[in-house]
Amino acid sequence: MSNLETDPRETLCADRPGGSGVEIIEPREVPLGGPRAMTVHRTLPSRERSLVGAWCFLDHYGPDDVSSSAGMRVPPHPHTGLQTISWLFTGEIEHRDSAGHHALVRPGELNLMTAGRGINHSEYSTHGTTILHGVQLWTALPDPFRAVPPGFERYAPPAVELEDETGARAGELRVFLGSLHGAASPVRTYTALLGAEAVLEPGAAVEVRIATEFEHAILPDGGSLELDGGVDGETVPQAHLAYLAAGRDRVRLANPGSAPLRVMILGGPPFAEEITMWWNFVGRSHEEIVAFRETWNSEISGGQTHDDAPFGPVVELTEGEAALPAPPLPNVRLRPRPRARDAVTTGAPAHNAQHSTAPRNTQNTADEREVPMSVQESEQQAGQTQYVQAEQRHRYEVHVGGATAGFTQYRVLSDGAVLAFDHTEVADGYSGMGLASKLVTFALDDVRAKGQRIRPYCPYVRAFIKRHREYADLVEDGFTE
C-alpha cells in the first residue's frame, strides 16, 4: 500500500524507548486516494512514536463496503529501504510488482514484499470484493540490508489454539512473522520481528509470554481490549495502538465484549538506527530522499520500462491508471533527529548516511575486510550469533542478535542426496567478523552429518574447500566447474 497523501509528513525516526507503562496512540484518518476512495486509520508513524522495533508504518482499514465505492485503488508507486506486509481480515487485493510477482492477497495469508534497493507495485481490491478489512504494515530494513534485491514471499500460518488459565479454549493465534506461544514463521526478515493475529472469544482472557528484549505494539479490531487487567490495566479502544516498552516477559489480553475480538501483535528489539521516511521512501538522509524522488519521477516521465531501471520496469497499468508521481518535497531540509540515547541495538549496526547500502557479495573472494571494532561490539551487545538451516528457503543462514547477517544458498539435487551451493553473501555491516567461513563450516558439517554430497558452484565455497581439504571428500565425484 502506498502513502497517497499529497503533502506527506516528513517522518524523522529514531526509536524512543518508553517508560514502564503502556502508551496509547490514537489513530488519525488518512484518505487513500480520491474522494470516493476508502479511509485508513494510521497509528504508525505518529506524533507519539515513529517506530516499534523495525515496524515503521501501520494502516488499519475497514470493515468497508467497497461494492459501491472505489475501494482500494493504488496505481504503480515506488518503495525503497523497507519491507511491506499485507494482512487481510476480509476481502481480496490484487498485487503486481516490478520484480515479476502477481498475487491475490487473501485473508489469513501473509504477503511480504521486500523493496530493498527499489521496487514499484500496484494494489487494487478485486471486483468480487464487497467488504475490505485488514492492515498494511511496513518494516524498515537495517543499513546493511537496505540495498538487497527486491523480492516477494507468501505464507499461510496455521492457527494455534489459545487457552485461558483454566485450560478452556480462549481463541486462536496465527504467527506470520517471528515466533510466539510455541508457533514460528519461516518467513525471512532482516531484523528480529514479531507479527501475529489473535482472535479472542467473547469474554475470554489469555496470558501470552513475550520476548523481554522486544518492545511491542498491540492493536484491537472489533472492539476494546483489556490489557493486563487489575488496577494497573489499560483499556485499549478499537483501532488504537498500545505501545509496551521492552523489559516485560508476558502480557494478558482480555476481550470484555460479546463478540470475537481480533488483536494484532507486533514486536521487535528497539531499532538502533535513525531513519528518514517521506512518502513511500525510507532513507537515512535528505540527499537520499531527494535522489529517490527524482529517480522515480524521471523514470515514469521518461518511460523507462526496462529491467535495469532503478525501480524496475513500471508494472502493468491496472484499469488504465498511470503510475503515481512523487509529490513535491517540503521547502525545508529533511533532518533526522538524534537517535534516543538509551536505544538498544538490534544487531544491525548503524552507519553514516553516506555509507554504501549494498550488501557485500563474497561470491568472488575468500577474503573478509577489516571493519571498525564497533561492529564486533555491537554483536556482543545484540546477543549470540546463531547458524541455522532455513530449509524452506534452501539456505544456511547466520543470525546476529536476531538479524540475518548472511547466508549461503543451495539447490537440492538427486532427491536430496546432493546440495549445489550457488552463492554466499555477508552483509557489508558484518564483514571482517569471519562469519562467511564459520557459516560455510556449519553448512558443510551439517551436510556430512546427513550423508549428503555437494557441488560447489559458489566460488567462495570452492575457495574454502581448497583451504580446508578435510571437506574435499564431500564434493560429488566427477564435479567440474
C-alpha cell at 93: 487485493
Among the residue ranges 142-156, 194-208, 307-321, the one predicted with the least confidence is: 307-321
Q: Tell me what the mean pLDDT of segment 50-72 comes to.
A: 90
Q: Is the pLDDT of residue 92 over 90?
A: yes
In angstroms, the CA 156 to CA 394 distance is 19
Among the residue ranges 127-136, 196-205, 227-236, the one predicted with the least confidence is: 227-236
| Residue 198 near residue 180, CB atoms below 8 Å | no
Determine the 3-state secondary structure of 81 from DSSP. Answer: coil
| Residue 474 near residue 455, CB atoms below 8 Å | no
94, exposed or middle or buried, with CB in 10 Å at 0-12, 13-18, 19+?
middle
C-alpha cell at 214: 522486544
Calculate the average pLDDT of the chain: 83
Q: Which residue has the cell 549445489?
A: 420
Identity of the residue numbered 85:
I
Q: Between the CA of residue 205 and those of 170, 218, 226, 254, 271, what are the distances in Å?
A: 6, 15, 9, 4, 30
More confident residue, 310 or 256: 256
In angstroms, the CA 46 to CA 42 distance is 8
In angstroms, the CA 196 to CA 157 distance is 9
In angstroms, the CA 179 to CA 117 distance is 27
Q: Is the pLDDT of residue 357 over 80?
A: no
pLDDT grade for 231, boundaries at 50, 70 and 90: low
User: How would DSSP label each residue in 347-399?
Assistant: SS----TTS--SPEE-TT-S------HHHHHHHHHH--EEEEEEGGGTEEEEE
DSSP letter, residue 391: G
In angstroms, the CA 194 to CA 185 distance is 9
In angstroms, the CA 191 to CA 120 distance is 23
pLDDT digits (tens, 9 = 90+) for 67-80: 877 788 889 999 99
Rounded to 5°, angle at Cα 365 from 361 and 368: 80
| Residue 71 near residue 32, CB atoms below 8 Å | no
According to DSSP, the residues that pair with 141 across neighbouring strands are: none
What pLDDT shows up at residue 346?
Answer: 32
Q: Is the pLDDT of residue 365 over 50?
A: no
Q: Which of 7-16, 65-74, 377-386 has the highest mean pLDDT?
A: 65-74
pLDDT digits (tens, 9 = 90+) for 260-288: 999 999 999 999 888 999 999 999 999 99
Determine the 3-state secondary structure of 91 from DSSP. Answer: coil
What pLDDT shows up at residue 303?
Answer: 64
What pLDDT shows up at residue 18?
Answer: 42
Q: Residue 342, Cβ neighbours under 10 Å: how many?
A: 9
According to DSSP, the residues that pair with 114 across neighbouring strands are: 83, 151
C-alpha cell at 63: 470493515
Q: Which residue has the cell 505464507?
A: 155
In angstroms, the CA 60 to CA 47 distance is 17
Q: Residue 308, Cβ neighbours under 10 Å: how many?
A: 7
What pLDDT shows up at residue 429?
Answer: 64
Q: Tell me what the mean pLDDT of segment 456-472 comes to.
A: 92
Determine the 3-state secondary structure of 89 from DSSP. Answer: strand
Q: Tell me what the mean pLDDT of segment 454-466 comes to.
A: 91
| Residue 49 near residue 373, CB atoms below 8 Å | no
